[in-house]
Amino acid sequence: MTTVTLTVNGQSVTQAIDPRTLLVQLLRENLRLTGTHVGCDTSQCGACVVHVNGVSVKSCTMLAAQCEGASVTTIEGIAQGGQLHPMQEAFREHHGLQCGYCTPGMIMSAIDIVNRKGTALDEETVRHELEGNICRCTGYHNIVKAVIAGAEAMAGGMRQAAE
Amino acid sequence: MAVTSIGARVVRKEDHRFITGKGQYTDDINRPGQAHAVFVRSPHAAATIRRIDTSAARSMPGVVAILTGEDLAADKIGGLICGWMIHSKDGSPMKAGAHPALAHGKVRYVGDHVAVVIAETVLQAKDAAEAVVVDYAVEKPVVDVASALAKGAPAVHAEAPDNRVFSWHLGDKAATDAAFAKARHVTALDIVNNRLIPNAMEPRAAVGDYDSGNDAFTLYTTSQNPHVARLVLSAFIGVAPEHKLRVIAPDVGGGFGSKIFIYAEETVCVWAAKKVGRPVKWTSDRTEAFLSDAHGRDHVTRAEMALDENGRILALRVNTKANLGAYLSTFASSVPTYLYAPLLSGQYDIPAIYAEVDGVYTHTAPVDAYRGAGRPEATFVVERLVEVAAREIGMDPARFRARNYIRKFPHQTPVIMAYDAGDYDASLKKALELADYKGFGRRKREAARRGKLRGIGFSSYIEACGIAPSAAVGSLGAGVGLWESAEVRVNPIGTVEVLTGSHSHGQGHETTFAQLVSDRLGIPIENVSIVHGDTDKVQMGMGTYGSRSGAVGMSAIAKALDKVIAKGKKVAAHVLEAAEGDIEFKDGKFSVAGTDRSAGFGDIALQAYIAHKFNGQELEPGLKEGAFYDPTNFTFPAGVHICELEVDPQTGDVTIEKWTAVDDFGVIINPLIVEGQVHGGIAQGVGQALHEGAVYDPATGQLVTASYMDYRMPRAEDLPSFVVDTTVTPCPSNPLGIKGCGEAGAIAAPAAVVNALTNAVGHEDVPMPATPQAMWRACRKAAQPLAAE
Amino acid sequence: MAFTMTGEVDLPADRQTVWEKLNDPEVLKASIPGCQELEKTSDTSFAAIVGLKIGPVKATFRGKVNLTDLKPPEGYRIEGEGDGGVAGFAKGGATVTLAPSETGTRLSYNVDAQIGGKLAQLGGRLVNGVAKKLADEFFANFARAVTGEGAASA
């Protein structure tokens, strides 16, 4: 067993873990943050995407022990004070989800895309950037719409924050 | 708050929990004291088990138990079943071998379940599973229908020595042969409908729990139909009687058919929970899912179409060999028979049809229903034949289709179906306009200048949904009825719970079903909850597949709502002191005809429960009604999809430039959700056409496409945004006029893509999946395609 | 899934020496990549433990190796099968032929092999490359053993 200390959704946690434990297992099994999902074992599907120090990471391919001292944000941690994140709102508004299983990873990836590519996104960019996230239900049509709209809403939020 | 009507584009009520990570999927459920199961699976496609040595594994850390097929047999746990009896041409019943939940003596495909290791943690169970030593005598496998049917091929099951499970047929052979004899032109095609792996994003999972105090079991499982799971586990497999077995299918992350079936793993988890005295949880990893989820499609077909001198279809003759895998899964036998051949008339008036289908055992994973189930295979046959026939006689494929469309309804086809309503010309006309078919020649020339081969392809599909009257499916061999149930519970303050036997795993029932209630009762949608997926709450149901939840599940709700309103009128008659016949119900109000006296729905609900205003001996207190709805016919959604794409002859890469879909789903409850269903269906159909294919190594039976590295799933960049529209002819066969929309895209799309690809390269030799490699070859084979312009 | 591979390698030693080394468990153990144990169980059979990594699958194979068709000093057929537990299995054989050459001995090999289970499911695409690499490593090691360099590095 080894001990790891990290911040998850703003709260400091220390856990004794088997060194083989993956970040996603720590989140799901130890912390019961079951919003982060496992959809494959080969880092292909993106259902497990979380942010580690503000950058999107597939939590099924990162050891929990590698997260010592890191700040991890999961789908459970992006709504602020009861207010949904604009990207969450956009997915609902545009029917960007059906079964909901890929959705947490999609939303976390989408926020990361906005962080990297800005808030004015075109369809081509979004489709390309979603390469690491598989959805079996939606055909991506409404996910793409949701990401573009969510990015615009994030721009609005940033403007407000700046004022 | 306002009423949400049928037809309103409302966002989904269930989304809040999914976008905040609060969904409750089976793997999110943890029971106190739970142990974890890992299955030891066969690495061989065909072998006799000489010995299973669990001694080393048993002493490993954390191991609770290791159970094998012998333990199952000792507890008299029965095998998995196939619930649809097919009779061969000669009248003999299908030849089915036993399907034990843990192998008994033999393994028959890579991934077959040999033993289960139960340990304190998943990692410990995995470690111990590695230490289970199985001594196999390896045998030669057969993985495709041709080798399985070859003379002297090894038999997968002794019960079917030539590997033929059934040799079935439908239609009038003599009339069909006669039509071919007088045909002016015959179009013939050899078609391979590629094997697919459904790949719902949530892998299957099960948690079995046993309460020794009450001798009662609970199974949490990824099921599309928990009641059917309970019925099979109870009546056939014998785990526990129904009243002692609760099956809960919580949030389920997609199914597409693969979660209809009753599998070995959930059977073992619920049985083992009592055996080890602990809750037992199993969660599939993705490679296990590839190996052990029921696969789809896998047909090899010879198809012929006979035409007269005017380009009218005279007859269709089809011979299909369907790969059923190593065991018959729950509904395996129905898919290539009654869900396939009755659809071979398509949207066309075809006087004679004859289909022969052989169901074939192979040493591969079981094959069963996958989105569309038989209907995509039929549509692919019909729509490829139609397209090629049009090309061969030099007629525009849109015109050829229109020439042969059915225009009078009801229409009896020569293969069982009686189409009730449709307007195929309307869909075609709208699709041609939206796709700018007239401008295609110009776009093709423009593409040629850029060195690209542009193609356009149609698919004028029909499907049969909802499934049919129970008595009718029973006469065709089904082991169950295909009705649906609903119970509407009105609370004293007028809020409503609807208990439904349908199950939502992405379809949005919590929204659409609530919309129906809001519309009918005139109450806000917020005041309605939909309850599903728990056999202790919902009494009985048949679940969700076959695009049936709208047409059948909602019809049951509508029927129960009618009863609620009728009862409400009786209560209102007392409250408003009027004759029951004078009470009207409209916009959420009971009123006395011709007066201004009225009472709101909530007021009447309260009166029904306090029962002060009527004699409880004459009128029962309370407001709760149930209904079972048995469909009167299949429903027949139909439409036209047009795919326009470009092939890069240098690389074989395909880009879908435009997708136009015009579907007739009858009455639509929520267009937002219906469009989403169409989008997803198209993506899966495009996946079949361009990317996806399960590949077994022919010599060894190893599945070599067992991860997302080798099984190519459609990704965002592979697809365009879709142009989706509808036409509406209400379905006359159910009270809501709904036809169903869940499978349409997956049924329509493959033929549209391949028709576009063959149009682009100028010949018909394009396989599915049309990977870049396959298309590069097809381009090489193409005879001067650019010069033709 | 099954695959085949052929190749040849020139060794700077006479045929009899190469033949003897090919039958020497210590040389074989030092030459087989990942070989942890190789025990002679009879004149023509060995019990082996070999650790291998193919793509994402890492496994320890326990198995047996048999020598058949022995034609000293012209060659033999070496066959083996190993069980890697959950990782799957590997089995196969190689016909090895020794012929005198200008520089010593030309060793030709003709391998046919099968893999199954996780190895095939996840590592299938990589197997040909890995097999080639393993063969190259084996013969590089074996060449060192034949020329006596192996002793120095071992």
The DSSP result for B717-750, as a single string, is GG----EEEE-----TTSTT-B---SSHHHHHHH
Nearest-CA neighbor of B725 among B783, B675, B681, B688? Answer: B675
On chain A, the residues whose CB falls within 8 A of the CB of B745 are: 139
Interface contact flag, C121 B707, Cβ < 8 Å: yes
Q: Which amino acid is at B475?
A: S
Q: How far is B264 from chain C (nearest CA, A)?
A: 19
Is 80 exceeded by the pLDDT of residue A160?
no
Same domain for B89 and B218: yes
In a domain, B414, yes or no: no
Is the Cβ of B742 closer than 8 Å to some Cβ of chain A?
A: no
Is A86-162 a CATH 1.25.40.10 domain? no
Nearest-CA neighbor of C119 among B135, B41, B702? Answer: B702
Domain count, chain B: 4
The residue segments making up the domain with residue C39 are: 2-147
Contacting residues for B31 by C-beta, under 8 A, at least 6 apart: B207, B209, B279, B281
Is the Cβ of B56 closer than 8 Å to some Cβ of chain C?
A: no
The CA-to-CA distance between both ends of chain B, in Å, stands at 61
CATH number at residue B336: 3.30.365.10
Interface contact flag, B22 A142, Cβ < 8 Å: no
The band of C126, judged by pLDDT with boundaries at 50, 70 and 90, is confident
The CA-to-CA distance between both ends of chain A, in Å, stands at 49
Same domain for B317 and B427: no
pLDDT by residue (tens digit) across A105-145?
999 999 999 999 999 999 999 999 999 999 999 999 999 99
Interface contact flag, C120 B700, Cβ < 8 Å: yes
What are the residue boundaries of the structural domains of chain A, listed by start?
A: 2-77, 86-162
- DSSP letter at B112 equals -
Q: How far is B52 from chain C (nearest CA, A)?
A: 12
What does pLDDT average to in each consecutive run of 10 residues of chain B (789 residues)? Answer: 88 97 97 97 96 96 97 95 96 97 96 97 93 93 98 97 98 98 98 98 98 98 97 95 97 97 97 98 97 98 98 98 98 97 98 98 98 97 98 97 97 97 98 98 98 98 91 90 96 97 95 97 97 96 91 96 98 97 96 96 98 96 97 96 97 98 97 98 98 95 94 98 97 94 96 98 97 96 54
In a domain, C59, yes or no: yes
- Choose the mutation target among A31, A38, A40, A43 for the interface with B, i.e. most B CBs under 10 Å: A40
- Choose the mutation target among A26, A141, A145, A148 for the interface with B, i.e. most B CBs under 10 Å: A141
The residue segments making up the domain with residue B223 are: 31-139+202-253+259-292
CATH number at residue C113: 3.30.530.20
In a domain, C81, yes or no: yes
Interface contact flag, B697 C121, Cβ < 8 Å: no
d(CA B730, CA B732): 6
Instruction: Closest CB to C86: pick one of B130, B291, B699.
Output: B130
Interface contact flag, C2 B700, Cβ < 8 Å: yes
ipTM: 0.98
Q: Which two tokens stand for residue B590?
A: 């009971």
* Burial group, residue B250, by CB count within 10 angstroms (0-12, 13-18, 19+): buried
Domain count, chain C: 1
In a domain, B9, yes or no: no
Residue C149: predicted pLDDT: 61
Q: Which of B568, B597, B629 is where one domain is finished?
A: B629
Residue C80: predicted pLDDT: 85
| Minimum CA–CA partner of C59 in chain B | B130
d(CA C8, CA A147): 57
CATH number given to A2-77: 3.10.20.30
Is 90 exceeded by the pLDDT of residue C7?
no
Q: Which two tokens stand for residue B135?
A: 């001594």
Residue B215: predicted pLDDT: 97
In a domain, C30, yes or no: yes
In a domain, B614, yes or no: yes
Same domain for B124 and B182: no
In a domain, B272, yes or no: yes
Same domain for B690 and B789: yes
Same domain for B228 and B109: yes
Residue B466: predicted pLDDT: 86
Residue B787: predicted pLDDT: 42
Same domain for B768 and B655: yes
B196 forms beta bridges with B296
Same domain for B703 and B566: no
On chain B, the residues whose CB falls within 8 A of the CB of A95 are: 11-12, 672-673, 675-676
For chain A, the residue count is: 163
| Minimum CA–CA partner of B252 in chain A | A99
In a domain, C85, yes or no: yes
- DSSP letter at B102 equals S
d(CA B618, CA B581): 17
Q: How far is B13 from chain A (nearest CA, A)?
A: 9
* Burial group, residue B520, by CB count within 10 angstroms (0-12, 13-18, 19+): buried
Q: Which two tokens stand for residue B490?
A: 């009105």
